[in-house]
Amino acid sequence: MSDAYPIVTVESEWVINPEEMGGKTKFWYGKPDDNTNWLFKYPRPNTGEHWAEKIASEIASLIGITHAKVELAEFQGERGSVTESFARGGRVLHHGNQMLEVTVDGYNPNQKFRQSSHTLANIWKVMDAIFLDPESAKQAKLIIAEYTVLDALIGNTDRHHENWGILRRRTGDKGRDFVAPSYDHASSLGRELRDERRDRLMAENRIGDYAERGRGAIYWSEDERYGPSPLELVRRAAPTYPDLFYSALAKLQKLDEDSISTIVNRVPDNWMSPAARTFAITLMCYNFEQLRGMIQ
């Protein structure tokens, strides 16, 4: 299509740490005429993680949620996505697990999956500990609430404790901490499904089942075996923290089904199958209606 997203071609001489390429997962690079570093990420085989990252970033941009900049890219003939570094200006990213370890008694920072202590309530404790001014803490929590609304919209089930964080100056000046932009949205939009599965879910009108059965990485209660779906998390959180989540949900006023379709359809034709395209649009439209119903 004429308005397709551009594709960044990454040159071999731009790679900063060639040894990181051994695992063939991701590597950092920098262009000679650009002071910003970018992270090239390969999608896992037979997934659409690259286009999921791009679509998620465009959705976040449209509704006004702070996020890392993402572009589609190629390196040595292989496709992926590139994410712009947001740890600039002398700031370092401290992941959520690092913050939770020093804030929540007994928190295991190395347990990425099925970490039932990774709850909204414990994330709020981190914000209260870092941002001592109550209004600043509230604004930090609002940003996290916005990220969970974005997750619910795109079906992101991978908001584990290393997929959010705080940007802090190397000097440790507490007055200069910020919630990092939302990043790492690859586990979204049914990117893992084969087209046959997508077609079957569509034909059987089971998009809602797919959305509701997803297991998120933020828990509601430490007693739960699994985290609720991203949609269910917002359903529970909105009436419990109305000042945060109704403000976050209001971001969706900038969205409609046409804009969802436009964002998805800008992915180049040979990067995303018709079935994947239709499924992603339908999934987001379902989630959009569910979220919109929470504030009506």
DSSP string, 260-277: HHHHHHTS-GGGS-HHHH
pLDDT level of residue 295 (50, 70, 90 thresholds)? confident
Closest C-alpha to 167, from 153, 179, 155, 154:
179
Percentage of the chain lying above the pLDDT 90 cut: 87
Residue 1 has pLDDT above 60, yes or no: no
pLDDT level of residue 189 (50, 70, 90 thresholds)? very high
Q: What are all long-range contacts of 25-33, with beta carbons under 8 Å and residues at least 24 apart? A: 28/85, 29/82
- Nearest-angstrom CA–CA distance, 19 and 8: 22
For the residues 261-287, what does the mean pLDDT come to? 97
Residue 259 has pLDDT above 90, yes or no: yes
Cα angle, residue 83 at apex, residues 175 and 219 outer, rounded to 5°: 65
- Nearest-angstrom CA–CA distance, 81 and 74: 8
Contact 69, 34 (CB under 8 A): no
Q: What is the pLDDT of residue 21?
A: 58
Residue 219 has pLDDT above 80, yes or no: yes
Contact 189, 280 (CB under 8 A): yes
For the residues 148-158, what does the mean pLDDT come to? 97
For the residues 97-121, what does the mean pLDDT come to? 94
Residue 91 has pLDDT above 90, yes or no: no
Residue 123 has pLDDT above 90, yes or no: yes
pLDDT level of residue 89 (50, 70, 90 thresholds)? confident
Q: Does domain 91-293 have CATH number 1.10.1070.20?
A: yes
Q: What is the mean pLDDT of the chain?
A: 93
Residue 255 has pLDDT above 80, yes or no: yes
Q: What is the pLDDT of residue 235?
A: 97
Given 3.20.20.100, 3.30.200.120, 3.10.180.10, 3.30.1600.10, which CATH number is that of 7-84? 3.30.200.120
pLDDT in tens, 29-70: 998 888 899 999 999 999 999 999 999 999 999 999 999 999
Q: Which distant-in-sequence residues (6+ apart) come within 8 Å of 13 by Cβ?
A: none
- Nearest-angstrom CA–CA distance, 27 and 64: 28
Q: Which of 91-95, 137-141, 190-194 has the lowest mean pLDDT?
A: 91-95
Domain boundaries, the chain: 7-84, 91-293
Percentage of the chain lying above the pLDDT 70 cut: 95
